[in-house]
């Protein structure tokens, strides 16, 4: 076959990465990363109230810089053979747009207004609204939460819209509709100028927006209007149609073709959330749980149709959200890498405040801290008396989303040191992973194995070995360090017609697995005992301390 090339664009929490990939064998020819400058400065965020916003200019600047950087790294004849671009993003990360589909924060009146910016997935300012949606849904004969696990989250689309409308009348009056990040970027690349023409992904709409074929689209307008009259007319502006990511949005616009140095013949695919495309890049198989491990985790499982089980407590099951023709099931942990980063920040506080003028010292300390902690923690034999932790530092996503929950430490005494506390943090994230596996298995969805993806999976042998011990299951680690971007590239190859299906693209472009972690028989029993303590304590906290 002829060798063509595609670009996969992966928007993460802190940065965007583009990769230039061969459709013939998945070979990565170039890669480029752009760290969001406004985000890095902490602009528009207020962590004390869980407000996290991102400016669309960070996204647009990163899109252009990373793709141009990739193309500059290869010969002109390769750039001329680029046939498609596909995009994945975090989610739910929606933004308010005007009738032209322009985010309000790209207009003069709202340029510095956080409520007019993309509301990042981990923004938890809408916990009240999420509870209201859950309570409201219980009053309807039709179970509109059936396909999102039975619980709506503050991390999701409608919670964020309602909360924004309640706190910002100016944004409310200026908004025509709301758009997920993964739907807006393809719209921009194809020169979109009418919000009604946006092709909305089934991935975002199904998992976060309450869209379902069973409802013939979204819940009816009465569902939203009776929740709050501020939502009147909003659902109609979303349309009823959604699209899987093997569908083309259109061709690259002349403006973007010129900006990037590409042809207008380049096809742009329907977007999706990062971990759904990451599961494809990581060569997911039916009933294997794909764990994309970054700041949070997103756990993806695909099941052949028909699937007669409706799984409760997860983040949705949607036909075609991962692989067209299969049911995609999503779960996840609200804090994973973020938990380790939090602990690192606690330990480096003295350095940052006592040696603020020694940038090299600070950088060296940050680079080495978790590596050193992991090395020493790996030498500690687990014991039932060691401190343990509850992993709700950013609330809980699965099972049964509850962002009001808080993290906690137990069995801490005067002899407890940083190594034991770090072990407790890591162990708690592994226990959270086990709760997700049990959520599926207990409801009749088998989990045949675990696929580890992302930076943590590839870089931390300590964390992955502990997870294998806790889960009592082998974990195979994918060779690619950029499975989300690679998955986007695979979808690009499909929308360009180079490969007839996602499965074919995975076979041709997959990079395989290069590590496997087997459970250690010597530690399985002690982790099972500690997991029982974790479960008992977590249940007590939720029922008696954080019950809302």
In this predicted model, what pLDDT tens digit does every residue of 376-386 receive, in sequence order?
A: 999 999 999 99
Q: What is the pLDDT of residue 355?
A: 87
Res 19 pLDDT > 90: yes
Under DSSP, the state recorded for 282 is T
Question: 1 pLDDT exceeds 70?
Answer: no
Q: What is residue 545's predicted lDDT score, i.e. its pLDDT?
A: 83
Q: Is 443 exposed, middle or buried (0-12, 13-18, 19+ CB in 10 A)?
A: middle
Percentage of the residues of the chain whose pLDDT score is greater than 90: 93
pLDDT of 397 reads 93
Give the chain's domains with CATH numbers. 5-282+480-513 (3.30.420.40), 337-439+461-469+519-544 (3.30.420.40)
Q: pLDDT (tens digit, 9 = 90+) per residue, 240-286?
A: 999 999 999 999 999 999 999 999 999 999 999 999 999 999 999 99
Cβ contact 248:495 at 8 Å? yes
In this prediction, residue 547 has a pLDDT band, given cuts at 50, 70 and 90, of: low
Q: Please give the structure tokens belonging to residue 198.
A: 């946006």
pTM: 0.92
Q: Encoding tokens for residue 177?
A: 């509709």
**pLDDT over 90 at 371, yes or no:** yes
Rounded average pLDDT over 470-485 = 95
pLDDT at position 132 is: 98
Using alpha carbons, select from 333, 330, 309 the residue that is nearest to residue 398. 333
pLDDT at 546: 75
**pLDDT for res 455:** 83
Average pLDDT over residues 163-176: 98
Least confident of 225-234, 282-291, 538-547: 538-547
pLDDT digits (tens, 9 = 90+) for 328-341: 999 999 999 999 99
260, 67 Cβ separation under 8 angstroms:
yes
419-476 pLDDT, tens digit per residue, is: 999 999 999 999 999 999 999 999 999 999 999 998 889 999 999 999 999 999 999 9
Does residue 486 contact residue 8 with C-beta atoms inside 8 Å?
Answer: yes
For the cut 90, the answer to whether the pLDDT of residue 71 exceeds it is yes
* pLDDT tens digits, one per residue of 488-509: 999 999 999 999 999 999 999 9
């Amino acid at each position: 076959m002829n060798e063509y090339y595609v670009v996969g664009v992966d928007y993460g929490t802190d940065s965007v990465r583009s990769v230039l990939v061969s459709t013939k064998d998945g070979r990565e020819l170039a890669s480029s990363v752009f760290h969001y400058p406004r985000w890095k400065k902490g602009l528009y965020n207020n962590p004390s109230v869980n407000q996290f916003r991102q400016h669309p200019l960070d996204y647009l600047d990163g899109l252009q810089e990373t793709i141009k950087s990739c193309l500059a790294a290869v010969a002109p004849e390769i750039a001329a053979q680029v046939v498609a671009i596909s995009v994945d993003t975090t989610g739910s990360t929606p933004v308010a747009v005007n009738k032209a589909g322009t985010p309000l924060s790209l207009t003069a009146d709202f340029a510095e207004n956080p409520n007019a910016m993309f509301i990042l997935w981990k923004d938890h300012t809408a916990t009240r609204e999420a509870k209201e949606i859950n309570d409201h849904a219980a009053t309807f004969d039709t179970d509109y939460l059936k396909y999102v696990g039975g619980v709506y989250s503050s991390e999701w689309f409608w919670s964020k819209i309602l909360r924004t409308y309640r706190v910002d009348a100016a944004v409310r009056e200026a908004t025509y509709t709301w758009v997920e990040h993964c739907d807006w970027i393809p719209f921009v690349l194809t020169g979109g100028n009418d919000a009604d023409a946006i092709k909305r992904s089934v991935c975002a709409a199904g998992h976060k927006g309450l869209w379902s074929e069973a409802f013939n689209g979204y819940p009816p307008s009465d569902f939203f209007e009776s929740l709050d009259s501020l939502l009147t007319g909003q659902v109609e502006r979303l349309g009823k149609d959604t699209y899987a990511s093997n569908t083309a949005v259109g061709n690259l616009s002349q403006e973007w073709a010129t900006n990037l140095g590409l042809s207008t013949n380049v096809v742009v695919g329907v977007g999706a959330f990062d971990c759904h495309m990451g599961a494809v890049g990581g060569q997911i198989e039916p009933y294997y749980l794909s764990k994309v491990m970054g700041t949070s985790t997103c756990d993806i499982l695909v099941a052949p149709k028909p699937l007669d089980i409706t799984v409760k407590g997860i983040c949705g099951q949607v036909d075609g959200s991962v692989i067209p023709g299969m049911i995609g099931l999503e779960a996840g942990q609200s804090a994973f890498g973020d938990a380790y980063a939090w602990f690192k920040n606690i330990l480096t506080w003295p350095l940052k405040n006592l040696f603020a003028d020694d940038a090299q010292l600070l950088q060296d300390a940050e680079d080495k801290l978790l590596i050193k902690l992991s090395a020493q923690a790996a030498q500690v034999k687990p014991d039932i008396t060691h401190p343990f932790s509850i992993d709700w530092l950013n609330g809980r996503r699965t099972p049964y989303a509850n962002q009001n929950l808080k993290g906690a430490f137990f069995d801490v005494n005067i002899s407890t040191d940083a190594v034991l506390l770090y072990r407790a943090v890591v162990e708690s994230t592994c226990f959270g992973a086990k709760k997700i596996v049990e959520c599926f298995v207990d409801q009749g969805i088998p989990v045949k194995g675990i696929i580890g993806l992302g930076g943590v999976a590839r870089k931390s042998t300590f964390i992955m070995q502990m997870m294998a011990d806790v889960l009592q299951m082998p974990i195979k680690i994918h060779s690619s360090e950029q499975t989300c971007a690679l998955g986007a590239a695979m979808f690009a190859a499909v929308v360009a017609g180079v490969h007839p299906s996602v499965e074919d693209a995975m076979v041709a472009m997959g990079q395989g697995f290069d590590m496997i972690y087997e459970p250690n028989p010597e530690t399985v029993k002690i982790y099972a005992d500690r997991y029982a303590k974790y479960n008992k304590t977590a249940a007590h906290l939720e029922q008696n301390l954080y019950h809302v």
